[in-house]
Structure 1
Amino acid sequence: VDVFGTVFEAWYSPVRDAVGGPVSGVIGVGTDVTERHRAEAALRRSEESSRALVENASYGIYRSTPEGRFVAANSAFVKLLGYESEAELRKVHVARDVYADPAERERLIAAFGGDETVRGAEVAWKRKDGTPILVRLSARAVRRSDGRIECFETIAEDITERRALEEQLRQSQKMEAIGQLTGGIAHDFNNLLTIILANAQLIAKALPTERGDAHADLRDVMSAALRGRVMVQELLGFARRSSLDLQSADLSGLVADLSGLLRRILPADVEVVIAGGVGLPEVRADVHAVEQILFNLATNARDAMPSGGVLRIETTRVELTEERRLACGAPAPGEYGCLYVGDTGVGMDEATRRRMFEPFFTTKPAGRGTGLGLATVYGLVKQHGGGIEVDTAPGKGTRFRIYVPVAEQRAAAASRGQQREPQIRGGTETILVVEDDDQLRRSAKRILEDAGYQVVTAADGQEALDVLRHQGPSIGLVLSDLVMPRLGGRALYDALRREGRTARFLFASGYSDPEGRGGPRLDPALPFLHKPWTANDLLLRVREVLDAD
């Protein structure tokens, strides 16, 4: 009874004059229980607050018995495992229905033998629909008076996404480290290949035609050097150091144009199925890089199907949500073009899948493959600002999904038909060759002189600047390396402009990103020749620049 804020607990007993007689009065006893009432109310509020705290927690919290039954769970835990309600969850068996490996639970329980708590244990679970997840558990054992464990009180945190992001970060850091190494050696390696190619062609030109054996040997040398050039480009593509020409492109059209060639390079027992989406938005891509991605994936699929199978290639439009963006590694959610390449081959186990994008990692026999195919695909996709997903399992094939950002504007229709072989022409103009590598400078000089040109050489930009100050009007073209001691090619170009002098320039470099070596960024409109070049590459580019208006 509440009387003006004071709570009484009352007992009443009737008073009778005789046994069984009428009630003549009442004896009442009242006890002041205000403090007890307040304590009980406070306890109820505390329990409700604790219950609300557990129920509204973002982490999963549950109790389970040693036998493997759930006793209680909050909403976050029910949602984590994908069940409809706590009542449904109580019907499942913890070890059999939740743990990916039931023995893992036994190992966790054994850890309570010498301690009352387990903190930060990472275990593999599965949701109601079978989706694998990785969780971090912190638990304590609740014991009876005799010391036996009554139940476990556990906090579960889903760290699947965090681990995926950490793996992406490790992969990115690994790629970046190798990319820096690759970019550093590209210049010297490309110079060596240029010297080999140029001198092999000079020797072949000087050899009598009847020396067929010698010509065959030189062709082998040039073929090996050209393979080296391809390998450097693949390394640069993997390391995201290659130069891409990103333009609006029709992804379905690219696949359709390459379908015939793909069918010719794949064995007859591999069926190629192509399904291109209709009316898809164009993507922002480098056409040749997309071709390389597709060829590398097709080659990988061919090797995964030694007894034949089906290679399916599809193009679709997708809208990447934040969750899917994180899964594929794309930089931002939004609209993307998707290139799907799937095979029915042997698939990959988890250990292989984790390493598949590492350069030089291969499961093929010695002598077959460089281990750069998928590494190059990864690098080129990232360089496009896209993402990549891989779904694979042993015996169930492999499915790649490449996501490329949609272009803002459509490109003008262009023909991808066969182009005529350009004609190699020489000339009589004077060309200043600026190159710090003696052998390469000598090779370029001989090739140009054999084509009829007058050639002046300089070992660096400072020496070339002195030559131009004295012979400026007679110099028709400056062929200059970009990165040199004392004065580089771009600095030479700028110095001439400051002095009011003009000259045609053709820049060359073996660096994949010359501006990344500390020099100023090169204007894309300026003519450029990538090393390693062949004699024909050099002569064609020189003639193009000299003939330009």
Structure 2
Amino acid sequence: MAAQTWVEHTLYVRTALLQTLSTLQDAETGQRGFLLTGDEIFLEPFRNADRTIGERLGALERTILDNEVQMQRLKRLRSVVADRLAALQKRIQERGAMPDATLADRLKVGKRLMDEARGIIAEMLADEERLLTTRNAEMRWTVTSTQIGVAGALLSAALLGWATLKDRQRQVAELQTANVALRIALKQAAEQSERRERVESQLRQAQKMQAVGQLTGGLAHDFNNMLAVIVGCLNLLKRKMARGEIDKDSLIDKAMECVDRAAALTHRLLAFSRQQPLAPQTVDANKLVGGMAEMIRRTLGESISVETVLASGVWRIHVDPNQLESAILNLAVNARDAMNDEGKVTIETSNAYIDDNYAREHAEVKEGQYVLVAVSDSGAGMPPEIIAQAFEPFFTTKGPGKGTGLGLSQVFGFVKQSGGHIKIYSEIGQGTTVKIYLPRFVGEGEVAGPRREPSAAGMAFRGSPETLILVVEDEDRMRSIAVAMFQDLGYSVLAAGSAVEALALIKANPDIDLLFTDIVMPDMNGRALAEEALRRRPDLKIVFTTGFSRNAVIHNGVLDRGVNFLPKPFSIEQLAQKVGAVLGVMETT
């Protein structure tokens, strides 16, 4: 009877383990159902599981007190179950307020905890399986001994022994049936987990497609508006010229304004997607902020009070100074708009340290030393739901025509592309602070000076006809425009539609001073052309241009060292400034 008792004990332990696993799965299923539908009814299985899981683990503990190995596993299982239930509860509370990247990380952690729980239960079941095998063997030996003992007894004793044997065989059959049912249950649990993962993957894909639709819709809307103005101005300009009217400047200015806005929109999209070409330099944040303080005051207007609070001993950073200035100015303008053109904007710098706990709670953030640049306003503040959407492209709280909704997304893209972190802190009625954390730079390098605005003399620069420039561009219209711009600036120009044609011109014209080449071209790209040209003419000056940032002179979003680059689209003033600086006839600004 002792062997049978131990077999029944093992079966009870197995049943308790399966009930524990089922309870934990019920909790996960209820939580997932609530997250997908928002219906409170799905939380009932989670709450029931949360109430009963402790009782089930307690019952399990009482049955395995004699097994030290199983008790150690139960201790691990309690910890994993507690972590999983806490994670499920936290996700329920945060429903709808978490970025896609954070949600994906939480799902991975949840899956890892559930897999660990299943693994522990599987280990405990396997141990019980071994015990069951041993105890079955002991029970069979007991049955056989009983048969031998009653063989010489009376017929009634023999019949009793036969009945006992049958009863034991029935129990063995029930055990085998229970084993089959257990295997089926485990298989079904695995299939259910796979189905949940597929549903979650489909949900994430749907969210991504929704974001892409919002992005393309906003982009098409803004570009259509700008194209409508440009087309309208060109049509009116053509009609005025046909009538001999000379009042054309206002139409040209409106068209150029829309072109500039379209170019700015493209740069903002590249910044948001972290594909804008950056030219990082060693930067002193105090000098940069101090140097642009007056410009910020002029930009924000006299009704806005601007204060800079610069900490002493601020570390150096390695970023694109022009993009950092643009980000700070963008945040300052947003702060002014949040205060309805009246209030105070404070720009602060300091050293900061992001610890491991903060880094674990925020996606794409690394522990370490940072330089903090914070822009604060005394406005009305933002509620949590607005903060959650603030960095989304084309999201804006401003009225129609007062913002593209790309300002903060541009700042976000620049900060992330520079290896930093950005965070918004806001309270209703108390104002808003946007904090930018940029990694500390400990390398060598000369600190970049403050940027100066182009002078009127620079804008009116005119080249020399003695300077010969080779323009290489495979797109016919772009090539003809570039040639015309160089000629208007006073340069002598040769043009080529391919790298092969360009190399032939370089061979035939040894007096070419500068190669101005597109990068993305068929057969041989601009970088390969430049390398071959420099092999033949080591003194040749080269300027690259492109409208596509993923190319041969930009890697990981950063321009290669020593590269002269002018992004498309560019104005004739920008062309004059860049080429003049490369040729050494104009001071860079």
Q: TM-score, normalised by structure 1?
A: 0.61
Q: In 1, Cα distance between the equivalents of 2:404 and 2:291?
A: 27
Q: Distance in 2 between matches of 1:405 and 1:343?
A: 24
For residue 529 of structure 1, the aligned residue among 560, 566, 570 is 566
Corresponding residue for residue 145 of structure 2: none
Aligned to 1:285: 319
* CA distance in structure 1 between the partners assigned to 2:103 and 2:407 by the alignment: 21
Q: Which runs of 5+ in 2 are unaligned?
A: 7-12, 14-23, 25-39, 57-77, 106-203
Deviations 1:404-447 (A, max 9, x none): 11121475466537565426122223322111121111112222
Of the candidates 422, 425, 445, which is equivalent to residue 483 of structure 2?
445
Alignment of 1:66-105 (within 5 A): none
Q: How does 1:140-155 map to 2 (within 5 A)?
A: 140=53, 155=82
- Find 1:228's aligned residue among 242, 253, 262: 262
Query: Any idea what SS the aligned residue of 2:312 has?
Result: coil
What is the CA-CA distance between 1:537 and the residue it aligns to? 2.3
1:492 aligns with 2:425: no
Is 1:477 the counterpart of 2:511 in the alignment?
Answer: no
Asked whether the 8 Å contact 2:420–2:438 carries over to 1, the reply is yes
What letter corresponds to residue 260 of structure 1 in structure 2? E
Match for 1:345 among 342, 357, 379? 379
Task: Give the 3-state SS of the residue equivalent to 2:517 in structure 1.
Answer: strand
Q: 1:343 to 1:332 in 2, by over 3 A?
A: same
Shift of the alpha carbon at 1:391? 1.9
Matched ranges for 1:303-452 at <5 A: 303-306=337-340, 308-329=342-363, 331-409=365-443, 412=446, 415-416=449-450, 418=452, 420=455, 421-422=457-458, 424-428=461-465, 429-452=467-490
Counterpart CA distance in 1 for 2:404 and 2:417 is 21
- Paired with 2:584 and 2:336, the residues of 1 have a C-alpha distance of 45
Map 1:197-216 → 2, pairs under 5 A: 213-216=247-250
Report deviation, 1:462: 2.3
**2:44 maps to what in 1?**
111
The CA deviation at 1:493 is 2.3
Mean Cα deviation higher: 350-359 or 444-453: 444-453
Unaligned runs of 5+ in 1: 1-34, 40-45, 47-60, 62-106, 120-136, 144-152
**Does the 8 Å CA contact 1:249/1:411 hold for their aligned counterparts?**
no
- 1:247 maps to amino acid: Q
Deviation string for 1:348-406 (max 9, x for gaps)? 23332221111111121111101011101111111121111222244443222211111
CA contact (8 A) 2:285 2:316 kept: yes
Q: How does 1:228-267 map to 2 (within 5 A)?
A: 228-267=262-301
Q: Of 572, 575, 584, which aligns to 1:538?
A: 575
Q: Is the CA contact (8 Å cut-off) linking 1:434 and 1:479 kept in structure 2?
A: yes
CA contact (8 A) 2:479 2:495 kept: yes
Letter in 2 for 1:464: A
SS at match of 2:313: coil
Q: Name the stretch that deviates more: 417-426 or 428-437.
A: 417-426
Label 1:410 to 1:328 Cα distance change in 2 as closer, same or farther (>3 A).
Answer: farther
Q: Partners in 2 of 1:524 and 1:110 — Cα distance?
A: 57
- Which AA in structure 2 matches 1:466? A
- Give 1:509's aligned residue: 546
Deviation of residue 327 (structure 1)?
A: 4.2
The number of aligned residues is: 398
Please state which structure has a larger fraction of its residues in strand: 1
- 1:70-104 CA deviation, whole Å, 9 max, x = no partner? xxxxxxxxxxxxxxxxxxxxxxxxxxxxxxxxxxx
Distance 1:326 1:312, change over 3 A: farther
Greater helix share, 1 or 2?
Answer: 2
- Conserved? CA contact 1:430–1:454, under 8 Å: yes
Distance 1:456 1:336 in 2: 49
Instruction: Report SS of the residue matched to 1:473.
Output: coil
Per the alignment, residue 505 of structure 2 pairs with: 467
Instruction: Give yes or no for contact 1:346–1:395 (8 Å, CA) kept in 2.
Output: yes
SS in 1 for 2:353: strand
Assess if the C-alpha contact under 8 Å between 2:277 and 2:559 holds in 1: no
Amino acid paired to 1:364: K
User: Cα offset for 1:510?
Assistant: 1.4
Q: C-alpha separation between the residues in 2 aligned to 1:501 and 1:289?
A: 32
Query: In structure 1, what residue type is equivalent to 2:295?
Result: L
C-alpha RMSD of matched pairs (Å) = 4.5
Q: Report SS of the residue matched to 1:225.
A: helix
In 2, Cα distance between the equivalents of 1:300 and 1:534?
A: 27
Is 1:391–1:399's contact at 8 Å kept on the other side of the alignment?
Answer: yes
In structure 2, the CA distance between the partners of 1:518 and 1:312, relative to structure 1 (3 Å rule), is: closer
Classify the secondary structure of the residue corresponding to 2:86.
strand
Partner of 2:253: 219
Q: Retained in 2: the 8 A contact 1:347–1:396?
A: yes
Judge conservation of contact 2:283–2:447 (CA < 8 Å) in 1.
Answer: no
Return closer, same or farther for 1:317/1:161 CA change in 2, 3 Å cut-off: farther
Distance 2:538 2:289 in 1: 48
- Paired letter, 1:453: Y
Structure 2 letter corresponding to 1:431:
I
Classify the secondary structure of the residue corresponding to 1:357. Answer: coil
1:433 counterpart letter in structure 2 = V
Q: 2:122 matched to which residue of 1? A: none
Residues 109 and 506 of structure 1: CA distance in aligned 2, closer, same or farther (over 3 Å) = closer
Partner amino acid, structure 1, of 2:86: E
Report the alpha carbon displacement of residue 517 of structure 1 after superposing the two structures with TM.
Answer: 9.6
Offset at residue 309 of structure 1 (A): 3.5
Q: 1:27-65: CA deviations, max 9, x gaps? A: xxxxxxxx9xxx9xxxxxx9xxxxxxxxxxxxxx9xxxx
Secondary structure of 2:391's match?
coil
Identity of aligned residues (%): 31
- Which TM-score applies when normalising by structure 2? 0.58
